[in-house]
Amino acid sequence: MRKMITVLTTLVLLLFGAASAFAVSPVTNTVSNIVNDPTFGITAAYTGQDADGKHRVQLSWNNRGSNVTSYTVYRYSTLYPWGGEVAAGCANLTTTSCEHVSTAYGQYGYVVRAYYQDGSVVQSKPAIVNIHKYSGSPATPVIYATEPVNGSFTVGFNLTSGNNADRWELKENGQGVLLSPNYTGSLIENGQQPQHASQSLNRPSGTYVYQVKLVNSYGTSLSSTITVIVP
C-alpha cells in the first residue's frame, strides 16, 4: 500500500510539473531554452470561412530586429494548453505576418517564436481567437411560451436551421431577464444545426411581452414578440 501511494504521489507531482511548465509556454516541448516575453505581441483575427469549410485567421506580430533569422507561429487549443502544433503556412518566416488556414474550429491560442542568430528563442504572449462553424449572423429565432400554471411558465426559442448563436438574451416588457449568472445565456454553436434554449419563470398576475435576441461574432437577430397572460 505504501509503495502504491508513493507511485501515485510521484505521478501527481510529475503531471503538476508538466502542467505548470506548459502554462508558461503552452506549445513548448523543451521549455528550457525559450524565453517568454510579455512585451512581444501577436494579433490574431478570424476573417471567416470559405465555401470549402476552411477557416482563415490573419496573424501579425512585432518585428524583433535584424538579429532574428526566422519566425514560426504555433497554435494550441485553449482546452488543451499543454499541446500545440506549428500553424500551417506560418513556419520559418522572415516576414511579420501570415495567414493560417484550417478546417478546425473552437477557441485557440496563437504564439509566435523569434529565432535569433545566437540560438536563443523568444516567444510572444498568446492571442486568443474563436473560430466558428457558422458563417453569418444568427438565423431568426422562433420564440415560444408555455401556458402559466400557478404563475410558472417557460419561455424559449428554437432554430431549426441557419446560423447558430453564441449567446442569447430574453427581454420581458423591454427589460432584460436574468439568465443565470447574468443577463446573457451561453449557447453551444454547431454551425447550421438546430439550436434551442429556454428559461423557467414565475410571475404574479399580469401581462408580459417577451422577445429573444441571439448574438454571434457576425451580428444579432431578434424574434417576434409573444405575450403571456398570468391569471
In this predicted structure, what is the pLDDT of residue 18? 34
Secondary element (H or E) of residue 19 = helix 2-24
Q: Would you tell me how many other CB atoms lie within 10 Å of the CB of residue 184?
A: 16
Q: Is the pLDDT of residue 87 over 80?
A: yes
Instruction: Give the best-scoring range by mean pLDDT among 42-56, 79-93, 140-154.
Output: 140-154
The mean of the pLDDT values for the chain is 86
Going by pLDDT thresholds of 50, 70 and 90, the confidence category of residue 26 is: low
CA gap 113, 73 in Å, rounded = 6
Neighbours of 12 (CB within 10 A): 10
Q: What are phi and psi of 166, to 5 degrees?
A: -95, -30
User: What span, in angstroms and rounded, lies between the C-alpha atoms of 2 and 20?
Assistant: 27
Higher pLDDT, 77 or 48: 77
Q: Specify the pLDDT at position 27.
A: 54
Is residue 159 pLDDT above 90, yes or no? Answer: yes
pLDDT in tens, 164-178: 999 999 999 999 998
pLDDT of residue 14: 39
pTM, entire model: 0.61
Question: Would you say 81 and 164 are in contact if contact means Cβ atoms under 8 Å apart?
Answer: no
Instruction: Report which of residues 7 and 199 the model is more confident about.
Output: 199
Confidence of residue 53 (pLDDT cuts 50, 70, 90): confident
- In the predicted structure, residue 121 carries a pLDDT above the cut 70: yes
Least confident of 11-15, 40-44, 209-213, 227-231: 11-15
